[in-house]
Amino acid sequence: MNLDHWLLVFILLSSFTTGLIIFFLDEEAHRLRTFLNLLGASLKVILVGAMIAGVHSNHVYESRLTLLPGLDLVLRADAMSVLFVALSSVLWLVTTLYAVGYLEGAPHRSRFFGFFSICVSATTGVALSGNLITFLIFYELLTLSTYPLVAHRGTEKALKAGRNYLIYTLSGGALLLLATVWLHTLAGPVEFSLGGKLGQAALEHGTELTIIFALLIAGLGVKAALVPLHGWLPQAMVAPAPVSALLHAVAVVKAGAFGIVRVVYDLYGVRTAQYLGVLPPLAAVAAFTIVYGSARALFQDDLKRRLAFSTVSQVSFIVLGTAIFGPVAALGGLVHLVHQGLMKITLFFCAGNLAEALGVHKVSEMAGVGKRMPWTMAAFTIGALGMIGVPPLAGFVSKWYLGTGAVLAGDYWVLAVLAVSSALNAAYLLPILHAAWFQEQQGPWPREETRGRWETRGMLLLPPLITAGLVLGAGLLANAPFSPLGWVRLISDREYGL
């Protein structure tokens, strides 16, 4: 293999090797562990940057290993995989900064950061998978590496949430395995490719491919938190804030949503999926999930649970854009893969800061926190307004393209879904902002961290400010060629021909 082939392997190993080394570090080796974490995260960003430049210039990156006759482990970089890899690598670096500050002095840090790094490696593998079997392997590795993070605190509640997480995700993995084996026996080894390669098979085995599609979506829908497969996600909020950020913005739910995009566009092909009639039911499930998640969020007093149900709703915008048969809606769904990650990670960083500095975990405890923690709440405000869809923030761009695409496709009912969802978003997020900025503190905070020069430790404050800036920049500079929307247009023009 030449250097081009090895680049994909190096991108995987940059985090995987770091994780393996960290497992063996003594708990007191704080500086070395921090150095290795930041080194691995920074190296991954640099390598992904090199890959982005190559893919933009139509360079082909592929690495292939034969597992069994007719069964290959394939890593391949295309414009779609680059979108997900870039998101995960950049947000991993920012989350690593946050996690180092958040877990300062906590027990079992080497174990945490070891699994943390392997989790990101699995996410990278999911993004770079060139066929369904490779995707399945990394998808299950992601499940196994995130379980210790969910159960990290070791409390009864954390262990219960971890068990629940495993039940859901391993069940989804079993469905995905069944669908993969069935598809392999039906159509042979099928790789992800432009437009999919199941068009001819759909003419001969339409019923079977429709059932396989349903199995694939059910298996992927667990991690994507499609209703009724979402139950694990709110319970998993007992995990530390960096894990919540990782689950919602970088790894697990995004892996599920990304998998659905791959199945529709690169496995079946959007035209084959339309021919089989599987897109309208997928759109209906996504629409119901959007409204249901927003409605449930409205009644959660626990801040992280409110944000968790918000994720249930917001991730389905990606699925909805994928299921609408039209290029403009597809742009909205794909770009929301990035935009939702930026907005949601900002909100979870801020929720973690409130918990660490003030012991605030509930919405009902947030009166006056804006005066005590203005920078944190400024970042939270940008993330929240973006989720609602207020221009010129990133969330507005996603919803604009989804709505415009729905009109062009003749799916006017999607406008009602977007309107109801935005109204519910405002209903569960604006009261938080009102309480934080305009209400007076009702009593002492549950816990008051010693206040230094800033409102909290610098490594906790800097990450949400960075991601909030990205939320603003992704909206203001949406038409720039280097923006997430600019790259999604490249995907549409070059790869999907939508």
Angle formed at CA 398 by CA 396 and CA 404, multiple of 5 degrees:
95
| Full-model pTM | 0.93
pLDDT at 384 exceeding the cut of 50: yes
How confident is the model over 110-164, as pLDDT tens digits? Answer: 888 899 899 999 999 999 999 999 999 999 999 999 999 888 888 888 899 899 9
Closest C-alpha to 339, from 447, 442, 472, 227? 472
Tell me how far the alpha carbon of residue 441 is from its chain's centroid: 34
The SS3 assignment for 73 reads strand
Q: Residue 333 and residue 327: Cα distance in Å, rounded? A: 10
CB 292 within 8 A of CB 226: no
**Paired tokens of 244:** 């919540």
- Over the Cα atoms of the chain, what is R_g? 21
CB 181 within 8 A of CB 190: no
Q: Residue 51 and residue 10: Cα distance in Å, rounded? A: 11
Burial letters for 457-475: b for 16+ Cβ neighbours within 10 Å, e otherwise?
Answer: bebbbbbbbbbbebbbbbb
Q: Which residue has the higher pLDDT, 109 or 466?
A: 466
How confident is the model over 236-264, as pLDDT tens digits? Answer: 888 788 888 877 777 889 999 999 999 99
Q: What are phi and psi of 64, to 5 degrees?
A: -135, 135
Containing H/E element for 199? helix 199-204
Q: Residue 404 and residue 409: Cα distance in Å, rounded? A: 9
Angle formed at CA 277 by CA 275 and CA 278, multiple of 5 degrees:
120
Q: Residue 358 and residue 443: Cα distance in Å, rounded? A: 12
Beta bridge partners of 362: 302
The residue ranges of every structural domain in the chain are 287-498
Provide the pLDDT for residue 236: 85
Q: Residue 335 and residue 487: Cα distance in Å, rounded? A: 9
